[in-house]
Structure 1
Amino acid sequence: MYMPLFFICVCIASAFAGVIRLPTDEEYVLVPMSRVRRQTTGGLDNSGRAFISHTGTLVDNDRHHLLGNAFAAKQFRPDGPLTVGGSLDYTHPPSGSTLGVRASNTRGFGTDVAATGRYNFYNKGGTSVYAEGTYGRHYGGFGGTGRPDAYGGLGVSHSW
């Protein structure tokens, strides 16, 4: 019951903090970092749905880009369940390779998890040769745990 709340708190804490290695041992801790870019949005739409989302750039340099997001939404007219979730999106700029993981939970309706990735074997002169894949699954809730939905493939693209 408290696992989705724990997950969203970890995502929000990660978006506000950076990870550093302590020089004396192998422990890692979250510490506030002033250079982490973050944005919080929220509101209430015409259908009575309230939402809040927090996004933060956790790592951003020439070789790695990591973006974290946490969100919560609730329908108030008519009263509906609370949905919470989060995601992490990684990009390797030199190769253009990407990896993303997402999870969301709606009370009474279950949890959805998904992962997507693309690995560029070759990326020069406007030509890319890559392998990509996705995985998604629904757990629990009204319909029960569903079968995994997965895809994988190879591709070539070129831009002039």
Structure 2
Amino acid sequence: MKITVIIFASFCVLLNAQEYNLAEDEFGEEYIMVPLPLRRQKRQSTYDLSHAGGLTTLKLGHTQKFLDDGINKFSLNGNLAHTFTPRSPLTLGGSLNYLHRSGSGISVGVKNTPGYGTDLGVQGKYNILKKGGATFDAVGSYSRHYGGSSGTLTPDWFAGVQLKIPF
């Protein structure tokens, strides 16, 4: 019982020690204004309009980083592509990416073109050793095409190790 009273009293003292901004609306209601930390989110949009071989293609992309605490980074990417020809479908895609400060990470992406099917891909890398500028990583990927005129294809995958030595 004494501990509860001490905790409650400490809470009341801390609550009263805080500085609050009060605001009042047109009806006389009072509100406590609590400052929130502002954090700028990094966004990047890209476009490419090209003309080659008699075909004009438009590509749009957008990347949104929604977590970057210096150790972990998460981002979402979205993109679309369209070639301006009769009956040319619009290709839509996106990915979710994670990157750790160590260089380890994973990316999951999907792309769909109506009439041609959907492509799914997963790529990952795990940093085993980093010394100086050299890195030794376990890497892997998986991709598969679903649907469309060619039907569902067998998956492509890869697993291995990678050594990078700067010169």
Q: Common fold, TM-score beyond 0.5? A: yes
Shift of residue 126, structure 1, vs aligned partner: 2.8
Contact 1:98 1:118 (C-alpha < 8 Å) held by counterparts: yes
| Equivalent position of 1:52 in the other structure | 60
Correspondence 1:148 to 2:133: no
Normalised TM-score (structure 2): 0.68
- Verify: 1:65 aligned to 2:65, yes or no: no
The question of whether the paired residues in 2 share the 8 Å contact of 1:116 and 1:134 is answered with: yes
Distance 1:148 1:39, change over 3 A: same
Q: CA deviation at 1:34?
A: 5.8
What is aligned with 1:9? none
Match of 1:89 in 2: 97
Q: State the partner residue of 1:42.
A: 47
Residues 111-158 of structure 1 show CA distances to partners (whole Å, capped at 9, x for unaligned) of: 001111110122232332321101000000010000000000123333
Pick aligned residue for 2:115 from 108, 111, 115: 108
Residues 81, 119 of structure 1: alpha-carbon distance in 2 compared, 3 angstrom cutoff: same
Query: 5+ residue gaps in structure 2?
Result: 1-37
Larger radius of gyration: 2
Alignment: residue pair count = 127
Query: Please, which of 117, 121, 125 is the counterpart of residue 132 of structure 2?
Result: 125
Corresponding letter in the other structure for 1:103: V
Q: Tell me the equivalent position of 2:85.
A: 77
When the two chains are superposed, the root-mean-square deviation of aligned CA atoms in Å is: 1.9
Of structures 1 and 2, the one scoring higher in RCO (CA 8 A, sep 6+) is: 1
Runs of 4+ in 1 over 3 A off after TM superposition: 155-160
Higher mean alpha-carbon deviation, 145-154 vs 66-75, is at: 66-75
The Cα shift of 1:43 comes to 5.2
- What is the percent sequence identity of the aligned residues? 39
3-state SS in 2 of match to 1:77: coil
Question: Structure 1 regions of 5+ residues with no counterpart?
Answer: 1-32
